[in-house]
Copies of this chain bind each other. A is one copy, B any other.
Amino acid sequence: MTQWGTRKQEKISRKLSVKDITDNKVIPTKDIVKVLGLLIKSNDCVALEGDNQKQATFLAKALNQLNPKEINGLHMVISSMSLPEHLEIFEKGIAKKLDFAYAGPQSKKIVELIEQKKIEINAINTYLELYSKLFVDISLNVCLIAADKADRNGNLYTGPNTEETPTIVEATAFKGGIVIAQVNEIVDELPRIDIQSEWVDYIVEADEPYYLEPLFTKDPQHITEVQILMAMMTIKGIYQKHNLQSLNHGVGFNTAAIELLLPTYGESLGLKGKICSKWVLNPHPTLIPAIESGWVDNICAFGGEVGMEEYVKERSDIFFTGVDGALRSNRTYAQMAGLYAADAFVGATLQMDKYGNSSTVTKGRLTGFGGAPNMGHNPGGRRHSTDTWVDLKQDDNYLTPGRKIVIQMLETYKSGNKPIIVDQLDAVEVGKEANLAVAPVMIFGEDVTHLVTEEGIAYLYKTKTPEERKEAIAAVAGVTNLGKTATKESIIRLRKQGIIAYPEDLGIKRSDAKRSLLAAKNMNDLVDWSKGLYNPPAKFMK
């Protein structure tokens, strides 16, 4: 006979074990380690909130203080492995198995811990598949999340940085798991309720506010003229060509340059209203001039951005905002929207091979990909049409669907750095060392529709074979080894066929790519554009 109700019983018994320490739902700050020690058991599946922006720092530190002789073998779900504390859980032997999506600053350390057999990678996931697995593969016993404020009943205010919190909490709360939230403060009344108290088992006031990373803030003063040239080509040779309205921009100076050229270069091409009105992206400060110039209708955000709070409040026509006026960011819905409702993804990479496969996983670094693979491929389940999507079709067959635009922007060389275009991705070796069943490729070459370099654009969606794709990549690969294989004849042919275009083919003079084209040249300009509503983090205002 199967025993039923075991998860429910287990939850009740764990909660009973801490009832003398907690005041209803409130865990005293000083008792957090003791309480976690009673609520978590060895081999549990535990989600620890680590977003691109928001980090449950206090709970991560508390988890590290558990005694690995008593609690060990945890299977951790941490979407962004950003903090040293995330690694320590494994170093100390408290946790063993890991599911993650991104590990920027900790990517090197992860590889070391794999070699030392302290971390066993269950999978590198993109955000959306990691969240998906929480409803199928992984039943969470405990989740440790971060919110701005709570009331004493346990209602939570996540505010601008809602991010992945509701999804993790739903997966835990409805499957008999225990939800523990660290909050910056406990208050009598919340500005709004983002997560209802019924879904929350415990709240604890953290000893310091959760860490928040201004990841999407790019100072315009660092944008180079090469990036401006590439941005001009992208606007004219891709966005205008395909009448692109809905798109996702990731983090980086290439896309920041595009954003800052819309009200200047884009305006001069007469493109306002015709391109780039609907966005899936974080509240990028570099998008302020375009917003203020009336280019933007809608922005669906993954997370918040430090300093953009007041600006977003005052621009509720285009941002999703709550009753308190603050941003509603939702990582899950934004990833979903980026997958199915955006006609284009623009990405960057650290390495690309000759067939256009790319990865941010490089020698000794297991970076993960965040949301790039989810948004940077052609979704085969899409059934609605837009002009842009249909424009990418390469035949007249009525059964052939349209295609999503997937752009990779990269400079073929960067002084002092290693070449970006390589014979074989480091991801192959790194993946084998980490015991991954297939190589951790970020974006597959066959998914890339446009490659933009400082040399020109390769319209890869027009190529018919991997060999032709390689030829087209070579034609814009500059002085790299691959670039040197491009013959004069093939370049003439590819230009004639419209498979590649150089700036002159697009009517762009290289000498026009000047910083004077940028709608904002520094952080102060962005503040001015925002009418003083944007309040950049101090480190950008030195």
Contact = CB atoms under 8 A, between A and B. Distances in A.
A357 B6 CA distance: 45
Nearest to A336: B132
Interface stretch (A29-37, A192-200, A208-216, A509-517): A192-200
Interface stretch (A262-270, A312-320, A476-484): A312-320
Given A376-B381, A382-B129, A385-B437, A280 B136 contact: yes
A174 B328 contact: yes
B131 A294 contact: no
A182 interface: no
Nearest to A123: B384
Interface stretch (A45-53, A107-115, A439-447): A439-447
A448 to B, nearest CB: 12
Contact of A322 (B174, B246, B332, B341): B174
Interface string A360-381: 0000000001000111111111
- Which of A136, A320, A321 is packed against the most chain B CB atoms within 10 Å? A136
B5 A314 contact: yes
B383 A136 contact: no
Complex copy number for this chain = 2
Interface stretch (A231-239, A398-406, A453-461): A398-406
Q: Which 10 A-B pairs have the closest CB atoms?
A: A123-B384, A377-B380, A129-B340, A132-B341, A136-B341, A132-B340, A385-B437, A174-B320, A374-B381, A135-B300
A213 B330 CA distance: 31
Contact of A198 (B123, B192, B280): B192
A438 B399 contact: yes
A289 to B, nearest CB: 12
Given A399-B438, A402-B438, 4 more contacts: A5-B317, A128-B340, A132-B337, A339-B381
Nearest to A314: B4
Given A341-B137, A400-B438, A381 B385 contact: no
20 contacts: A5-B314, A5-B317, A7-B316, A123-B384, A125-B383, A129-B341, A129-B383, A131-B336, A132-B340, A135-B320, A136-B342, A137-B298, A170-B330, A373-B383, A379-B381, A380-B447, A399-B428, A399-B441, A401-B444, A402-B437
Interface in A1-31: 2, 4-8
Contacts of A330: 170
Contacts of A378: 380
Given A383-B124, A440-B383, A315 B4 contact: yes
Contact of A136 (B123, B278, B321): B278
Interface size band for A: 35 or more
A130 to B, nearest CB: 8
A496 interface: no
Interface in A155-188: 167, 170-171, 173-176
Nearest to A330: B170
A68 interface: no
A381 B373 contact: yes
A323 B126 CA distance: 30
A133 interface: yes
A170 B383 contact: no
Contacts of A401: 438, 441, 444
A280 to B, nearest CB: 6
Contacts of A131: 333, 336
Interface centre among A321, A323, A437, A440 (most CB of B within 10 A): A437
Contact of A380 (B357, B380, B402): B380
Interface in A136-154: 136-137, 139
Interface in A397-451: 398-402, 425, 428, 431-432, 436-441, 444, 447
Nearest to A139: B298
A196 B158 CA distance: 14
A313 to B, nearest CB: 10
A89 interface: no
A465 to B, nearest CB: 14
A398 B136 contact: no
Contact of A337 (B135, B196, B436, B447): B135
A322 B198 contact: yes
A246 B384 contact: no
A390 interface: yes
A384 B129 CA distance: 8
B381 A377 contact: yes
A530 to B, nearest CB: 12
A292 interface: yes
B398 A135 contact: no
A278 B138 CA distance: 10
A334 interface: yes
